[in-house]
Chains A and B, each alone.
Chain A
């Protein structure tokens, strides 16, 4: 097997006596679309925050392309080619849509401290291409603060794609979206995986989305990894049924 793009080894995070994430190990291959599912409080977001350097693991390591990045700050991990979207969208409400993307491009080109040129003219074309990718080009000039939630999610995806990441972490990419929008967005993400070879790790509550698009699925419960496999294997797994339906059959 080739080097995994991302590998977590024995990842744990304890908050006092609570083991939010407990000895979780997994690997992600380039071009793979891997879903983490699990009930609320299973440790999905904690896991994400550790992968992106926003939270220090209590134990365990994270490797990116074979390099140990466990103690790297978030922005260094980003520079190494990891993009992320947040569970609650994080964009810059005081800027226009296109400026949100331009900002990521400015950072990518190392010009955040520049005071010579005006920012609004920089990397406009690149930003437009990214906005077209996510279908937001017609809203480029709008004020980000007044966007609909689904549009914000797409804008955030455009921002996360700005430095052409090799790995994309998406925390509940379709939460709060209408069903139609969810399908569109996930189709978009699947397309990006196909075209660019980007690996994607995402958490999701919508099982339709997960079973339709994920190449592989991991199930977290109370901080522990209880199952892993493709859609059919997960559907059939009795422990997963136990977690989700308390023993009944999983009607999926």
Chain B
């Protein structure tokens, strides 16, 4: 009994910080419709900044003052980020802003590394609250009790702000109908900035408050981000009471999980999330999202056309040059090119789903990593030859996509995205925690290609064939009736249904198709590396693909692989430097601001301005413009 009570108290104490971060994310999403990937970074900053303040401010007043100051400082940093990074891209497709916030994650990671160094910082104890209390014989840290006492005040304060003040009225109004609020003369710019300040301040506060419990380290951002997404989705996007409820649920669940089912805590959390979303697709207290964001906001997409002669010739030339690489390139170049090719196939598969289907998946790594693990496991346990494993990888990933798509496609817009994220994380946690079979964190090693393909040159040709083949297949599918029907379902759902198109089945098929090709990329990946680790299934990997798709350009046909090649090439070049994340993050932010239509979209615009290609609607229609 005492143990259970103590567990419950620990869970409630943990819920505090989680709630603050989650409510901030929820507020920001509600008002600005931005899913702030960087929210975990603000939490991490809160911890670091709070730590620094505590070093200089003395005593109890200093401790609590440092926490408040940390919240304030992080709020200001958040507002600054909003002004500098997000304001220039509000006119771009909404989800494009995700890419910008991803750039912020990278920048913050390296800045934190520069300022506070790589070692984990041990949080100072709260003055006067450093010991433990015995409750029914069980030790409970005093600070936990303090957190349990503080959280309701924060929640109440927030509730008061939102329901009883003019600012709150604006925030609630904007959450319900942003355009209307703008039409009524509210200055949206400052409303957005203010919301960012508040949301980030909450995250910073959460980060600083948990210092005595968890300290500060450089992995905090992604660790909390995954949890916060779970909380916000279970509670309902944009709902504060939902965030509170879900924070408590998840924290308590985690604490009990650690005690009673240490092997499956993570799995448990994501299972709960999937279960809740299957029961209530918009979260416990969330509302249905009107008008799903499909990555299509902004100028309408241009009609697609097969490449013209010139582009075909150029492509053939480029492919021939690439194919001749093993003849003149060094070993390093060959391995790098193999990496890039495989990544391009992965990115192109997500690009198909997102660009043609309007289906924004946050969990595409499930199929890349899934394919990789299918291949690796079949080699490890059944001595499957490489040729067969490369067939099983897309097959397994395709089956997984059919299963996941069945559930996820019941929702639309951001909830669809969150469901795919949940399933991706579920798969990741399964692999991570089911160590006896998957090797857990140690991964599966020694998965080498068949002897005929073991040379780097030969394997390059293998990857070249499958990746280029896969990308061409995706491209062909976009030109085929299937691709047209998918765009029809995306463009005008009611019209598509009223002309006989089974939109749901079309999207499901596209999900499976994209999953299969991601699985193929995963299979190639395992054999190129000889090993696979759970991080191939992680959120970060899904985000990589997502970033790349937007970076390349959603409303173009080649955005996926172009973005993939640029991103991977850039990453591989930059990782040689110490602060490569900073450079990559800044590059991403720069691209987002300078070319909101992505690299391909931006180049197309430039080429048009220079008169190199004709606009899609030019009077002469004999020659179709290449994209």
Contact = CB atoms under 8 A, between A and B. Distances in A.
Interface of A: 52, 54, 73-75, 78-79, 83-84, 86, 90-96, 99, 102-104, 106-108, 111-120, 122, 141-146, 159-160, 162-163
B480 A75 contact: no
Given A74-B498, A75-B502, A143 B480 contact: no
A78 B492 contact: no
State which size class the interface on B falls in: 20 to 34
B482 interface: yes
B578 to A, nearest CB: 44
A112 B502 CA distance: 9
A52 B303 contact: no
A119 B476 CA distance: 10
B495 interface: yes
Given A79-B500, A107-B500, A141 B621 contact: yes
B500 A91 contact: no
A144 B506 CA distance: 22
Contacts of A84: 498
Contacts of B480: 114-119
6 contacts: A78-B497, A90-B498, A93-B301, A107-B500, A113-B481, A115-B476
Contact of A143 (B495, B506, B509, B617): B617
Given A107-B500, A143-B302, A90 B495 contact: yes
A92 B501 contact: no
B604 interface: no
B488 interface: yes
A118 B494 CA distance: 25
User: Most chain-B Cβ atoms within 10 A of its Cβ — which of A79, A83, A86, A113?
Assistant: A113
A92 B487 contact: yes
A114 B498 contact: no
User: Most chain-A Cβ atoms within 10 A of its Cβ — which of B476, B477, B479, B488?
Assistant: B488
Given A96-B303, A143-B303, A86 B500 contact: no
User: Most chain-B Cβ atoms within 10 A of its Cβ — which of A118, A144, A162?
Assistant: A118
Contacts of B500: 75, 78-79, 104, 107-108, 112, 163
A127 to B, nearest CB: 12
Contact of A90 (B476, B492, B501): B492
A201 B379 CA distance: 64
B499 A114 contact: no
A-B pairs with the 4 shortest C-beta distances?
Answer: A90-B495, A145-B300, A112-B485, A94-B301
A86 B494 contact: yes
Contact of A104 (B300, B305, B499, B509): B499
Nearest to A84: B498
Contacts of B124: none
B501 A75 contact: yes
User: Most chain-B Cβ atoms within 10 A of its Cβ — which of A111, A119, A146, A160?
Assistant: A119
Given A92-B492, A94-B303, A103 B477 contact: no
Contacts of B476: 115, 118
Interface string B469-511: 0000000110111111101101110110111111000100100
